[in-house]
Amino acid sequence: MTFNEGIQLDPNRVKTSRGGRGAAVGGIGGLIALIIFMFTGVDLSGVLGGSSTDTASGGTIDLSHCVDADAANQYVECRMVATAESLDALWEQALPQQAGVRYEMPGFTVFEASVNTACGQASSATGPFYCPADQTVYLDVSFFDTLETQLGAENAPLAQEYIVAHEWGHHIQNQLGYMAQVNLRDTGPESGAVRLELQADCLAGMWVRHAASTVDPETGVTFLEPPTRAQLEDALTAAAAVGDDRIQEMTQGRAFPETFTHGTSEQRMRWFATGYEGGTVQSCDTFSMSGADL
Ligand SMILES: [Zn+2]
């Protein structure tokens, strides 16, 4: 989607971090004791061929130029700032209206190589994730390249935004108490883990539905132009690329449904579409579905 001229961005909405590529930091290795919610069901170091992405050393990620729509439409790091502000504006309204809960803004840290969190240390191979212990979304934008080169989706703006909105969905689930109900040791097609992930996809679709009518509170301008069919297709393709079945077939040769934690490609696309069409938190109630309807 394209951000509208006239919006004003606050680069301070997003924190940045650049860590070393310590040998001890292997994907989720540093995180196993603690609960996080990853965008994919796998440690991407396998997908990345054993090493995490190479990033230039030194310097920090600079967001100071992320102040307007031109920057958001041109630079991926600024697109993160704009997407965060759009998500804040939507959930500020929708959460009290639809669920009677006051929205608390999650933290959002864009990092390179590795990052320290209240859930432990993570690397780029972890992929985007949400840490409930510090209520923060963590994302290395190099994941978007991985999405294209390794997972076969298009590295397109709406695909990137869908991923951020999915992680925001986890924060909403945390606020609504869904997260606490789920036993994450439980895996499989009808597990709480899968229901939680599909619900996050649905909440991301819900954001896309409303993004073009959500207004920047600072300027009164709507954040985004309505998505085109081709842009929606980019988000759906990204959802399909991270289905458990697709990733397991790629990394292990076949799918093992009893180990599913995120749902199949078909389910991830369908729940994104359900949120887009339904447009409400209620339409995303994956927990009340029978397994056959999930
Ligand atoms: Zn997730």
- What does the DSSP assignment read for 74-94? H-HHHHHHHHHHHHHHHHHHH
Residue with tokens 């078909």: 266
Residue with tokens 């990394």: 251
Question: According to the model, what pLDDT value does residue 58 have?
Answer: 54
Evaluate whether residue 187 is within a structural domain. yes
C-alpha of residue 220 to centroid of ligand 1, in Å: 31
Question: Residue 32 and residue 220: Cα distance in Å, rounded?
Answer: 44
Q: Which two tokens stand for residue 287?
A: 């927990």
Could you count the other beta carbons within 10 Å of the beta carbon of residue 16?
17
Instruction: Give the gyration radius of the chain's Cα atoms.
Output: 18
Q: How confident is the model at residue 96 (pLDDT cuts 50, 70, 90)?
A: very high
For residue range 227-240, what is the model confidence (pLDDT) as tens digits?
999 999 999 999 99
Question: According to the model, what pLDDT value does residue 243 have?
Answer: 97
The number of distinct structural domains making up the chain is 1
Evaluate whether residue 48 is within a structural domain. yes
Amino acid residing at 260: F
Evaluate whether residue 259 is within a structural domain. yes
Give the residue-averaged pLDDT of 128-151. Answer: 95
C-alpha of residue 62 to centroid of ligand 1, in Å: 27
C-alpha of residue 35 to centroid of ligand 1, in Å: 12
Question: According to the model, what pLDDT value does residue 187 have?
Answer: 94
Half-sphere exposure (Cβ direction) of 112: Cα atoms closer than 13 Å: 11
DSSP 178: H
For residue range 86-95, what is the model confidence (pLDDT) as tens digits?
999 999 999 9
Distances (CA, A) of 25 to 21, 50, 142: 7, 12, 17
Give the residue-averaged pLDDT of 241-269. Answer: 96
Evaluate whether residue 212 is within a structural domain. yes
Evaluate whether residue 1 is within a structural domain. no
Residue 161, H or E segment: helix 157-176
Residue with tokens 């996080």: 36
Residue with tokens 């606490």: 180
Could you count the other beta carbons within 10 Å of the beta carbon of residue 43?
19
For residue range 172-181, what is the model confidence (pLDDT) as tens digits?
999 999 999 9
Evaluate whether residue 5 is within a structural domain. no
Please state which of the ranges 16-30, 83-97, 188-202 shows the lowest mean pLDDT: 16-30
C-alpha of residue 167 to centroid of ligand 1, in Å: 6
Residue 50 has pLDDT above 50, yes or no: no
Question: According to the model, what pLDDT value does residue 60 have?
Answer: 79
Question: According to the model, what pLDDT value does residue 293 have?
Answer: 93
Residue 85 has pLDDT above 80, yes or no: yes
Question: According to the model, what pLDDT value does residue 51 have?
Answer: 43
**More confident call, 163 vs 28:** 163
Within 8 A by CB and 6+ apart from 5, the residues are 68, 69, 70, 221
Taking alpha carbons only, the member of 287, 247, 251, 256 closest to residue 41 is 247
Question: Residue 225 and residue 3: Cα distance in Å, rounded?
Answer: 6
Evaluate whether residue 6 is within a structural domain. no
C-alpha of residue 166 to centroid of ligand 1, in Å: 6
Question: According to the model, what pLDDT value does residue 21 have?
Answer: 61
C-alpha of residue 206 to centroid of ligand 1, in Å: 15
Give the residue-averaged pLDDT of 112-135. Answer: 92
CA triple 166-100-81, angle to 5 deg: 35
Residue with tokens 């679709």: 205
Residue 115, H or E segment: strand 114-117
Residue 139, H or E segment: strand 136-139
Residue 225 domain boundaries: 11-293
Q: How confident is the model at residue 36 (pLDDT cuts 50, 70, 90)?
A: confident
C-alpha of residue 79 to centroid of ligand 1, in Å: 20
% of the chain beyond a pLDDT of 70 = 90
Question: According to the model, what pLDDT value does residue 207 have?
Answer: 98
C-alpha of residue 197 to centroid of ligand 1, in Å: 5
Evaluate whether residue 173 is within a structural domain. yes
Q: What's the start-to-end Cα distance of the chain, in Å?
A: 28
User: Strands 129-131 and 37-38: what pairing?
Assistant: antiparallel
Question: According to the model, what pLDDT value does residue 52 have?
Answer: 43
Question: According to the model, what pLDDT value does residue 288 have?
Answer: 96
